[in-house]
Structure 1
């Protein structure tokens, strides 16, 4: 028998490539859908969160406006005035922009008493506040993750020492401890390397020192995650295979706790803006000739009744930045935590009505199956929403769910 005839006999009765076959009578058709990776699910959930998307867009606009108008480092900005440049008062310093017709004018946010442009000062203050916020988030995130990971994984004396240190820092008032740290960062003792570095990088030093204050909450959360994850089977398998403790912590456990780290990192950054604002308002944060949003409010609080625009604009940007970061954090929390998933009762009711109207199966989309939400008649929502395996429900002749 030739090789060609043998191949024909082997594939006899099988469908041709690309040809769809109908299921046999009485056999339930299999609904196939392309699965989604964790990154795809997180992106879809995050960009499906309206508040997080709006917050991300508004924060991006503020970030671009702050860093492009005043410039950063050697990169010049497009705005014609600097934050410390004094110019003659125009129209007694009132804002020059208008809506009809739309025009910025020379000083859209107005001027202070000595003629400095408030738009330039506000953009410089937003720039400095964002830099401090990012530095505090990075420093606090690194310290909190390391302390929480070591305490949760090793337990014993390591956990006792690290958690007692955390408790000591927690009981000290944050504002008081931050004020002491910022005063230390602002020292200008001549002849020391720290004085020279702080003189040229005052905002960076302030952010680093404040980062040593606000890491305690993240450390306790990471410790709780590690206490739970260290008992899982994949960790035991890694130990049996001979993996080192460092590899187990950073390659096996930490990737599974990244959602907690990212979400709480955004909340730390949001609180960092308010902390920096409070310190600058009290005079122990960013100091002149530099500026920040909190320092602008402190300097112009007496002009609230006579020149209110000097108080409104810095306050507005503080509120906008904090709201944007909080909305982004809410979106990340919903994206990384499947238990936060909302159950759509209207869709479930319509599918059940459709299923009871006839024997046909309700159509399922790739999005439904990809996230574990089956629209097949008789299925309840997926395990991600309720923490268990999908449950199959059928009805007995009396109509009760079994």
Structure 2
């Protein structure tokens, strides 16, 4: 049985002749996944929860997150303000809900952009000649040496001066800094796949480099792309939170990092909910993606499959 077939069977665990309704089949698959990998299932539930919140934030937020009311500043958690209010009377729960959009957009945007360019460069690096190999080695070494935080601060300052979207500048800068490590990982995977007999057979029958890369190498590197992207997304979320913590995050937008540091730092001794609410939210999101990523790695990596 091929690795692809065993991966599919373990994930779905449904025989080809299964004639049960589609909904029943999927429910059975999810149930078995939950039993075999409870932490991965728990992480997936957390990820899905925050994705739903981010998508439907305008309808889920109980109060306008930008509305200020000094009459209710520092209000404790109640039925009206689920997690209390901040120093200018803004509803913290609504700001947390809207903050999910920013954090997940930054995380997913970073992973997608860096994944696209890292995959293209990594596969090309594995196939093209010595001149390109030497050039990419130099570029990757230089790219990995760049200080992420310094570049993020510079990009945020330039965006403010040029009146460019700070969120866009953060995504582009994070993608640029992460791309080099991704390129190196995918290049190693592409070299390993390229040495397999079926790729060598395709090349011996006249398949060009582009065809071999697109039809044989890239599909076999895809599981690694999925796993590494899932595990890298929490780092991008933490980077945005850290940038907001230092005061260089998107101005005027609800941000978990900004709420955790800039808004709660002066008042957390008396109004503890201003600190624990965004801190717990960041922690849960990062934990969920890490648990989910670990489960995907176990499912898609043939060396780890069946060990848990």
What TM-score do the two structures reach when normalised by structure 1? 0.66
Give the Cα–Cα distance (whole angstroms) in 1 for the partners of residues 105 and 12 of structure 2.
26
- Cα shift readout 1:308-364 (whole Å, capped 9, x = no counterpart): 1111111111000100110111001100112213459xxxxxxxxxxxxxxxxxxxx
| Mapping of residues 195-344 of structure 1, within 5 Å | 195=163, 198-199=164-165, 202-287=166-251, 289-299=252-262, 300-342=264-306
Structure 2 spans left out of the alignment, 5+ residues: 14-31
Rg (Cα) greater in structure: 1
Structure-2 change in CA distance of 1:343 and 1:232 (3 Å):
closer
Q: How far 1:145 sits from its partner (Å)?
A: 0.9
Q: 1 or 2, which has the higher helix percentage? A: 2
CA contact (8 A) 1:82 1:120 kept: yes
Equivalent residue for 1:79?
Answer: 61
Structure 1 spans left out of the alignment, 5+ residues: 1-34, 72-76, 97-104, 190-194, 345-402
Equivalent residue for 1:6?
Answer: none
Worse-matched range after superposition: 328-337 or 234-243: 234-243
Give the Cα–Cα distance (whole angstroms) in 2 for the partners of residues 251 and 89 of structure 1.
63
Equivalent residue for 2:108?
Answer: 134
| Mapping of residues 3-402 of structure 1, within 5 Å | 36=5, 38-44=7-13, 48-68=36-56, 70-71=57-58, 77-87=59-69, 89-90=71-72, 92-96=74-78, 105-184=79-158, 186-189=159-162, 195=163, 198-199=164-165, 202-287=166-251, 289-299=252-262, 300-342=264-306
Structure-2 change in CA distance of 1:115 and 1:54 (3 Å):
same
CA RMSD between the two structures: 2.2
Q: How far 1:62 sits from its partner (Å)?
A: 2.1
Equivalent residue for 1:20?
Answer: none
Structure-2 change in CA distance of 1:78 and 1:178 (3 Å):
closer
Give the Cα–Cα distance (whole angstroms) in 1 for the partners of residues 216 and 74 of structure 2.
63
Q: How far 1:40 sits from its partner (Å)?
A: 3.0
Structure-2 change in CA distance of 1:269 and 1:204 (3 Å):
same
Q: Which has the higher contact order (CA 8 A, sep 6+)?
A: 2
* Residue-pair matches, total: 285
Report the 3-state secondary structure (helix = DSSP H, G, I; strand = E; otherwise coil) of the residue aligned with 1:277: helix
Q: How far 1:295 sits from its partner (Å)?
A: 1.0
What TM-score do the two structures reach when normalised by structure 2? 0.85
Equivalent residue for 1:371?
Answer: none
Give the Cα–Cα distance (whole angstroms) in 2 for the partners of residues 155 and 52 of structure 1.
41
Structure-2 change in CA distance of 1:159 and 1:41 (3 Å):
farther
Q: How far 1:206 sits from its partner (Å)?
A: 2.5
- Cα shift readout 1:98-126 (whole Å, capped 9, x = no counterpart): xxxxxxx1101101121111111111112
Report the 3-state secondary structure (helix = DSSP H, G, I; strand = E; otherwise coil) of the residue aligned with 1:181: helix
Q: How far 1:81 sits from its partner (Å)?
A: 1.2
